[in-house]
Amino acid sequence: MVVLLFDGVDLLDVTGPPEVFALLRRETDDPSGYHVLLAAETLDPVTTSAGVRVLPDITFQEAATRAIDTLMVPGSVEVDDQRRVHAIADPTVVDWVKTLAGRSRRIASVCVGAHLLAAAGLLDGKRATTHWTTAQQLAADHPSVEVDADPIFIRDQNVWTGAGITACLDLSLALVAEDFGEAVALRIARQLVMYLKRPSGQSQFSVPIEPVSTTRRMADLRHHITRNIPDSLTVADLAAHAHVSERQLTRIFKTELGTTPAAYLESARVEAARHRLESTDDTLDRIASACGLHTTDTLIRAFRRQLNTTPTEYRNRFRHSG
């Protein structure tokens, strides 16, 4: 197994999978398992995003002379002055990904490493995931890739893509399960104090990305929804507020936000409910009422649609004291 290294790479993306594979030897008393090699352009220490320097085992050139069982491609990001995250796809690294993928039986990206696979053409026509913060970027930069921002990992033929940060552990466990069976992977998961399969996707960890509207009218509509979340807002109410017909309102939402007025309303209400679940001890009934969802059943159904979990499960995972 070869794991790529390059300056600015996310540290956990590099070190997480080898930790999982090291536990395989301990749990099975099998000296074979995986032989992990860290490959970089040179043998000089590589500085990761955390500032920790990592020493490569081999160069990319050396790796290109070997038959590689699994090629693992981590990623790196840059953050602008508004805290927006952008995945980086260095052309030199992309070229080496193309070369080494041709020598590999199986390719796996970790977190935003999916952007490197996509830039190398390895995800064309395939379904893939990445960290939820860069999923929109991946879809925009590579229209031929079917991007799904929710799964913790996706396998499409011999290409695997993993979601964000600690999901490198989930992806690694899935590789172990495929190669050595689920019973072995479960034992390793227990040692890591984690699920073998998480109960839901990464959408429950994400926050809706506030769209940049192109008109003052749409900005006013979004603010109107936020200010009146507890009220029984309908599409007709929004159309009347914007002084347009319901049909025209639907066209506006589709054009500017890529969604429908009803779907946006539900998303805004679920987001408001998420904040209350995280920061208050309010009952589900009270939260449903305060967020315009009216009943606990409606709240639960909306959470299942939006986050593939329940309000109670979400609160148990994310509740924090005031």
Q: Is 82 helix (H, G, I), strand (E, B) or coil?
A: coil
**CA 250, 253, 255, 259 torsion: positive or negative?**
negative
Query: Does the annotation mark 111 as catalytic?
Result: yes
CA gap 103, 107 in Å, rounded:
10
**CA 238, 244, 248, 254 torsion: positive or negative?**
negative
Q: How many CA atoms lie within 13 A of 266 on its CB side?
A: 14
72 - beta bridge partners? 3, 108
Which pair of tokens denotes residue 3? Answer: 């794991």
Counting Cβ atoms within 10 Å, is residue 51 exposed (0-12), middle (13-18) or buried (19+)?
exposed
The crossing angle, in degrees rounded to 10, of helices 261-279 and 216-227 is 40
CA gap 171, 168 in Å, rounded:
5
Nearest alpha-carbon partner for 268 in 314, 209, 225? 225
Active-site position among 73, 111, 135, 171:
111
**Whether 73 contacts 116, CB under 8 Å:** yes
Strand ranges in the chain using DSSP code E only, listed in sequence order: 2-4, 37-40, 46-47, 53-54, 58-59, 68-73, 77-79, 85-87, 104-109, 127-128, 146-147, 153-156, 159-162
> Any idea what the Cα angle at residue 81 is, between residues 77 and 85, rounded to 5°?
25
**Whether 95 contacts 31, CB under 8 Å:** no
* Amino acid code (one letter) for 205: F
Active site residues: 111
